[in-house]
Amino acid sequence: MRAARLIKMVLLLQSRPAMTAAELARELQVSERTVTRDAQALSEAGVPVYADRGRAGGYRLVGGYRTRLTGLARSEAEALFLSGVPAALREMGLGDAHSAARLKVSAALLPSLRDAPDSAAQRFHLDAPAWFREPETPALLPAVAEAVWDDRRVSARYRRGEAEVERVLEPYGLVLKAGVWYLCARVAGGGSCRTGDGPFRTYRIDRFGAVEPLEEQFARDPDFDLPGHWAAQAERFARSILRAEVVVRLSPEGARMLRYAVDPLSAREALSGPVEPDGAGWVTVTLPVESEEVAHAQLTTLGAEAEVLAPRSLRERFAADAARLAALYGGPRPRRRR
């Protein structure tokens, strides 16, 4: 609809100093001719859209013009209040800023949408920590978060195994994964270098022994993509711990349940290749695993739907388990005492 497109055009111009007709057309998915007509319509409606002519020209808002959020639909307003994680914001020291922002956005909404915050909160809740663990907020998290926002270098002491190392870091971004906070950072360049040129690394916040913000700021790498970096790091970590292999024969039910029993990456790799069922419908796959000990614990959950063929030591371990189970369940059922 044109009304929604006009509102989006104003919001785009509010967020940037200026935009060319081509940029606006790409964002709005319309032609440049339509952008010109929309700009004229906004101007006639009293929105101060100014067009700069020439090759370097474009469109911009003048006079510090800002629009209130009266164009939000109910679903958009409710989605807006779902975009944050209040507990995580409080842990980073941003609880007050979050509350103030919610109040300002709520005040800008139409009266018919004022219940959007409560409507969303009563329908969806994100519980970030994993099960069976007490979430702990690292004491140094607020200091790290402040440095991330300010693009400010920090001098940090970090526990690596039994040792502690000291580094000057450029903190790029924070990630909360299953209740654990991580920092994606670069080791700072030496001397007067404004930015590091080494690889990005990931640090657990709770392993920092000290974090001291420094005076100098760093220039962020414009190509750094935090979600992409984290996804790549997570996959590399998952692959790095799969150091052993198990050959296992799976029933149709075992193949279906494999992804629930082992690491999803292991299951995908095992079942991604060409596997031909035998006469009984079972398939034989090579499963990457962390260790024989871990494989024993994971594959035990599949019971009789999986048969370990190799390594021999693991097969013998399952054979011993089966013998013990047969001894437990093979005899007559004991009578219950009255």
The per-residue pLDDT for 195 is 63
Does 193 have pLDDT greater than 60? Answer: no
Whole-Å CA distances, 109 to 14, 74, 114, 271: 18, 10, 6, 51
The per-residue pLDDT for 81 is 63
Whole-Å CA distances, 110 to 3, 113, 161, 256, 314: 17, 5, 55, 50, 66
Average pLDDT for residues 229-233, to the nearest whole number?
Answer: 89
- Enter the DSSP assignment of 84: -
Average pLDDT for residues 52-80, to the nearest whole number?
Answer: 70
What's the CA gap between 267 and 256, in Å, rounded?
Answer: 10
Residue 171 — pLDDT band, cuts 50, 70, 90? very high
Average pLDDT for residues 266-282, to the nearest whole number?
Answer: 89
Taking Cα atoms as reference points, which of 233, 232, 126, 129 lies closest to residue 177?
A: 129
Does 186 have pLDDT greater than 90? Answer: yes
218 φ/ψ angles, rounded to the nearest 5 degrees: -125, 155
Q: Is the pTM of this model over 0.85?
A: no
Dihedral angle over CA of 19, 21, 23, 24, nearest 10? 90
Average pLDDT for residues 43-64, to the nearest whole number?
Answer: 81
Average pLDDT for residues 54-62, to the nearest whole number?
Answer: 79
Average pLDDT for residues 61-66, to the nearest whole number?
Answer: 76
> What is the number of helices (H) and of strands (E) in the chain?
13, 10
Taking Cα atoms as reference points, which of 143, 150, 141 lies closest to residue 175?
A: 141
Residue 292 — pLDDT band, cuts 50, 70, 90? very high
Does 183 have pLDDT greater than 90? Answer: yes
